[in-house]
């Protein structure tokens, strides 16, 4: 029995900042970002948008697209590292939002949960639901990746920002992709990128050493929630390389395959924290699989030879054929954390749909990564009906319809200084209010659909 992705939908903010605008404002040579990293646009949420609205919109589009009845869905599992609450999962917000449109109590028997492991959380959610469907082949599950990749202004991560959600219907005998059981895994606990609990002394706010009550806080420390991560770019990149190469070798063992297994993959789908990350790091696997090519390169050190190999015709041909299709959407959206690998997957499928490629029964290789750190490598087979399923997804058309914002507007959105939406919400979920008065509901987030 085959199990996998039956259909897919997405939700991307309608606003974006052109990378050229950011480069000019930050005094960065634009070509370093465009030609060096593959960046063109950076999607950014409007005032009324967050990971809940994006996840809810993607899920509703998927349900309506496939004409699914709520009672057919047994699970809604969300992969995110941008949760809006330390206890209440994004999935529970999504469920109640869907019920506000599709009927009160219509998802009462649906299991929901969030899975968090940096950028690989949605892959974990997917594999959990694949196993569930293998055991319960008449059931259906929805996996959602929803994130807002936000970095500090003027930081080295600023130009890699992005936001969006991908929703996937998981079934037996799927129309798009079926996944094999074998999964290669590599894990190590590191601090390459993380979002720690932060605190400041209450005295710095109250100017009193007596520890007076402040905003209901009795502790002598004030906890701070910050969307932006703490990260070490170079170290994180090395962790990425280490984990994906280890997971790739483990996948060989688990799948009982030998040789250059990437040659069996029509396309290679990787986590893309920026557009060209895949092509810049897969060279490590390529070099290990082709030691004779590496040895033939000109260079005094192994590092020099690796750089030369990355510019070789053999490797550039691989990038163009197997990796480049996944980069198309990434360059126009930016990093969406847990959704990045699935955005690359959707970009690849939409590209081949436009090119009228015969992908049926071809294999796609997935190389996922999440900081902290973990990689998973696995593969999927394209179904014969994939074209009819992808025809419903207008990814490139939607990206072309997005609206550019100027730099002052971007900074105000980033600092949460704008009070009214740049584009008023229409036929979508939006954040309506956050409770500030009721003591037993302080911080509760209320969403609506429509306008």
Are 120 and 375 in contact, with CB atoms under 8 Å apart? Answer: yes
Secondary structure of residue 226 in the 3-state scheme: coil
Q: What is the pLDDT of residues 287-336, one digit of tens each?
A: 999 999 999 999 989 899 999 999 999 999 999 999 999 999 999 999 99
* Residue ranges in the chain modelled with pLDDT below 50: none
Secondary structure of residue 127 in the 3-state scheme: helix
Are 320 and 279 in contact, with CB atoms under 8 Å apart? Answer: no
Listed in sequence order, the residues at least 6 apart from 270 whose beta carbon sits closer than 8 Å to its beta carbon are: 244, 277, 278, 281, 282, 323, 326, 341, 344, 366, 367, 368, 369
Q: Are strands 193-194 and 230-231 parallel, antiparallel or unpaired?
A: antiparallel
Beta bridge partners of 269: 366
Angle at the Cα of 250 from the Cα atoms of 248 and 253, rounded to 5 degrees: 115
CA distance 9 to 13: 14
What is the pLDDT, as a whole number, of residue 223?
A: 87
Helix (H) or strand (E) holding 157: none
Secondary-structure percent of the chain, ordered helix, strand, coil, rounded to 5: 40, 25, 35
Residue 361 half-sphere exposure, CB side, CA atoms within 13 Å?
0
Percentage of the chain lying above the pLDDT 70 cut: 100
CA distance 97 to 146: 15
What is the pLDDT, as a whole number, of residue 216?
A: 87
Secondary structure of residue 111 in the 3-state scheme: strand
What is the pLDDT, as a whole number, of residue 88?
A: 98
Which letter does DSSP use for residue 323 in this model? I
With b meaning 16 or more CB within 10 Å and e meaning fewer, what string describes 315-333? Answer: beebbeebbbbbbbbbbbb
Listed in sequence order, the residues at least 6 apart from 239 whose beta carbon sits closer than 8 Å to its beta carbon are: 188, 190, 192, 371, 373
What is the pLDDT, as a whole number, of residue 195?
A: 95
Which tokens go with 97?
A: 């939002």
CA distance 117 to 140: 24
What is the pLDDT, as a whole number, of residue 425?
A: 95
Tell me which residue of 312, 348, 313, 310 sits closest to 327, measured CA to CA.
Answer: 348
Are 56 and 97 in contact, with CB atoms under 8 Å apart? Answer: yes
Helix (H) or strand (E) holding 180: none
Task: Tell me how far CA of residue 436 lies from CA of 44, 227, 346, in angstroms.
Answer: 26, 20, 40
* Domains, the chain, ordered by start: 3-192+232-450 (3.40.47.10), 193-229 (no CATH)
For the whole model, what pTM was predicted? 0.97
Are 8 and 66 in contact, with CB atoms under 8 Å apart? Answer: no
Could you write out the DSSP letters of every residue in 47-89?
TT--HHHHHHHHHHHHHHHHT--GGGEEEEEEE-S--S-SSS-
- Sign of the alpha-carbon torsion through 270, 274, 276, 279: negative
Are 368 and 179 in contact, with CB atoms under 8 Å apart? Answer: no
Tell me which residue of 444, 443, 418 sits closest to 46, measured CA to CA.
Answer: 418
Q: Largest alpha-carbon pair distance within the chain?
A: 72
């Amino acid at each position: 029995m085959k199990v996998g992705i039956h259909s897919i939908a997405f939700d991307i903010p309608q606003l974006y900042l052109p990378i050229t605008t950011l480069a000019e404002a930050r005094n960065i040579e634009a070509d370093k970002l465009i030609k060096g990293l593959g960046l063109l646009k950076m999607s950014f949420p409007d005032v009324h948008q967050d990971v809940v609205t994006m996840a809810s919109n993607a899920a509703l589009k998927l349900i309506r697209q496939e004409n699914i009845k709520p009672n057919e869905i047994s699970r809604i599992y969300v992969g995110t590292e941008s949760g809006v609450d330390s206890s209440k999962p994004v999935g529970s917000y999504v469920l109640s939002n869907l019920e506000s449109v599709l009927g009160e109590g219509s998802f009462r028997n649906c299991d929901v949960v969030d899975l968090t492991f940096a950028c690989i959380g949605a892959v974990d959610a997917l594999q959990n639901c694949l196993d569930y469907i293998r055991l319960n082949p008449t059931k259906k599950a929805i996996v959602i990746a929803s994130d807002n990749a936000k970095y500090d202004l003027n930081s080295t991560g600023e130009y890699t920002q992005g936001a969006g959600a991908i929703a996937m219907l998981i079934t037996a005998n799927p129309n798009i992709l079926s996944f094999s059981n074998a999964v290669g895994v590599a894990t190590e606990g590191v601090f390459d990128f993380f979002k720690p609990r932060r605190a400041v002394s209450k005295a710095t706010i109250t100017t009193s050493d007596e520890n007076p009550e402040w905003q209901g806080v009795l502790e002598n420390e004030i906890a701070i929630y910050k969307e932006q991560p703490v990260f070490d770019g170079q170290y994180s990149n090395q962790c990425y390389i280490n984990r994906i190469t280890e997971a790739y070798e483990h996948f060989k063992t688990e799948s009982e395959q030998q040789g250059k297994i990437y040659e069996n993959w029509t396309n290679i789908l990787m986590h893309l924290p920026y557009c060209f990350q895949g092509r810049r790091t897969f060279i490590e696997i390529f070099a290990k699989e082709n030691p004779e090519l590496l040895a033939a390169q000109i260079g005094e050190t192994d590092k020099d030879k690796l750089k030369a190999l990355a510019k070789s015709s053999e490797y550039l041909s691989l990038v163009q054929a197997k990796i480049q299709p996944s980069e198309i959407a990434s360059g126009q959206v930016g990093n969406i954390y847990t959704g990045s690998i699935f955005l690359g997957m959707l970009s690849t499928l939409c590209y081949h749909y436009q090119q009228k490629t015969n992908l049926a029964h071809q294999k796609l290789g997935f190389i996922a990564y999440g900081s902290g750190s973990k990689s998973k490598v696995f593969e999927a087979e394209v179904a014969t009906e994939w074209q009819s399923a992808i025809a419903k997804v207008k990814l490139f058309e939607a990206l072309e319809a997005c609206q550019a914002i100027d730099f002052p507007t971007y900074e105000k959105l980033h600092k949460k200084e704008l009070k009214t939406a740049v584009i008023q919400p229409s036929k979508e979920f939006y954040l309506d209010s956050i409770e500030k008065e009721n003591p037993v509901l302080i911080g509760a987030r209320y969403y609506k659909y429509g306008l």
